[in-house]
Amino acid sequence: MTTITGWMMKEPQKPFEKESFEAPVLKEGEVLVEVAGCGVCHTDISFSYLGVKTRKEPPLVLGHEISGKVVEIAGGADASLQGKNVLVPAVLPCGVCSMCRNDRRRICTAQIMPGNDCHGGFATHVVVPAKFICPIPDEVLKSHELWELSIVSDAVTTPFQAVKCSRLNAGDLAICIGVGGIGVHGVQVAKGAGAKVIALDVDDQKLEVARQAGADEVINIKGLSGKEIKGKVKAVGKSLGAPKALWKIFETSGTRSGQQTAFGLMGFGATLAIVGFTMDKVEVRLSNLMAFDAEMFGIWGCDPVLYPECLDWLAKGKIQVKPYVEKHSLDEINEVFEAAHHGKLQRRAVLVP
């Protein structure tokens, strides 16, 4: 039996506690992954600090941005996965329910999210269903360390899914609101798809990073009214030669103000993707959707079938992860979470056992 050492959330708003326990006997179709790295996501902060409940009651090992190596396979799992370097999708669908059969795998009725439905990746090993595990091509590993790729499981693939769902085309105007750990990758994906990209944030340092990531223009919206923000976006869009309508708007800040800004930017034929999460409520006039013949949708992770394409973008250099991650020992988890909670990290932290 393999011994797993992980950091447990015993109860919210309390420090994580290090524990060792025997890995469970694998069930049909499961694999045991030796964790190379696990990214710290805002969702983890929401579980540990902001009152969002996990589906499995604590004590629980959090963490859903996982890369690693398959070290054990149960019957019913693809035997070729043995010894492979893999990404563990943040949301693992069953593949057979009505949602999965209708290509809505992201909201599978029997989905497994590590660090939510079961023990996650802030540990030496994690047990997960094998069905949608994504092997990492050697071409990607030539230019990336395995731990770095952990953030692809959510921070990169989630905005990748959002851009796909928005039907963004080359030449469209993409507006990315909140360019932190997820938004900076949204900038890269939109730019890689050929859009004119404007990044909005209240932090000049993040905006400069977004510019380096490919944003054509950036706007610091701190203290600006909704009308002022829309006026600036229109002016910048015009200077870029972007369309006056059919804007693609991606809200990745996960804040009330960010969501209000995003809704306020909707115009004729606009598409708004809500990618960031907040417990806060936002008051909006839904009739704007009707008046502008606009649409709005939410994104719950990425369909695992898109992971290989996203990794291909990495192999071709259309998406970068190295400039946006920083490595920390898993034993530093409490210090890293505290820093992340207070917005003191400039890069996405990856915890490495």
For residue range 135-165, what is the model confidence (pLDDT) as tens digits?
999 999 999 999 999 999 999 999 999 999 9
Give residue-wise pLDDT tens across range 232-278: 999 999 999 999 999 999 999 999 999 999 999 999 999 999 999 98
Give residue-wise pLDDT tens across range 8-22: 999 999 999 999 999
pLDDT of residue 184: 97
Question: pTM to 2 decimals?
Answer: 0.96
DSSP for 300-328, please give it: -S--GGGHHHHHHHHHTTSS--GGGEEEE
Give residue-wise pLDDT tens across range 40-64: 999 999 999 998 999 999 999 999 9
Hey, what long-range contacts does 46-52 have (CB within 8 A, 24 or more apart)?
46/277, 46/279, 47/9, 47/12, 47/115, 47/116, 48/9, 48/12, 48/13, 48/16, 48/337, 48/341, 49/12, 49/13, 49/337, 49/341, 50/279, 51/12, 51/279, 52/279
Cα(151)–Cα(325) distance, rounded to whole angstroms?
A: 8
Greatest pairwise CA separation for the chain in angstroms? 63
| Residue from 45, 275, 259 nearest 154 by CA | 275
In Å, how far from its chain's centre is CA 28? 28
pLDDT of residue 44: 96
Domains of the chain: 3-154+302-352 (3.90.180.10), 157-298 (3.40.50.720)
Hey, what long-range contacts does 316-322 have (CB within 8 A, 24 or more apart)?
318/188, 318/192, 319/156, 319/160, 319/185, 319/188, 319/189, 319/192, 320/188, 320/213, 321/144, 321/148, 321/149, 321/151, 321/152, 321/156, 322/144, 322/148
Question: Could you tell me the end-to-end alpha-carbon distance of the chain, in angstroms, rounded to an integer?
Answer: 19
Give residue-wise pLDDT tens across range 52-106: 999 999 999 999 999 999 999 999 999 999 999 999 999 999 999 999 999 999 9
pLDDT of residue 86: 98
Query: How many C-beta atoms lie closer than 10 Å to residue 69's C-beta?
Result: 18
Give residue-wise pLDDT tens across range 159-212: 999 999 999 999 999 999 999 999 999 999 999 999 999 999 999 999 999 999
Handedness of CA 297, 299, 303, 309 (dihedral sign): positive
Cα(159)–Cα(161) distance, rounded to whole angstroms?
A: 5
For residue 99, list its beta bridge partners.
none
Query: How many C-beta atoms lie closer than 10 Å to residue 84's C-beta?
Result: 17
Position 112 pLDDT exceeds 90: yes
Give residue-wise pLDDT tens across range 309-326: 999 999 999 999 999 999
Query: How many C-beta atoms lie closer than 10 Å to residue 109's C-beta?
Result: 11
Cis peptide before 12 (omega within 30 of 0): no
pLDDT of residue 347: 94
175, 119 contact by CB (below 8 A): no
**Mean pLDDT across the stretch 298-305?**
96
| Residue from 147, 126, 136, 97 nearest 315 by CA | 136
pLDDT of residue 224: 98
pLDDT of residue 255: 95
pLDDT band at 346 (very low <50, low <70, confident <90, very high): confident
Position 1 pLDDT exceeds 90: no
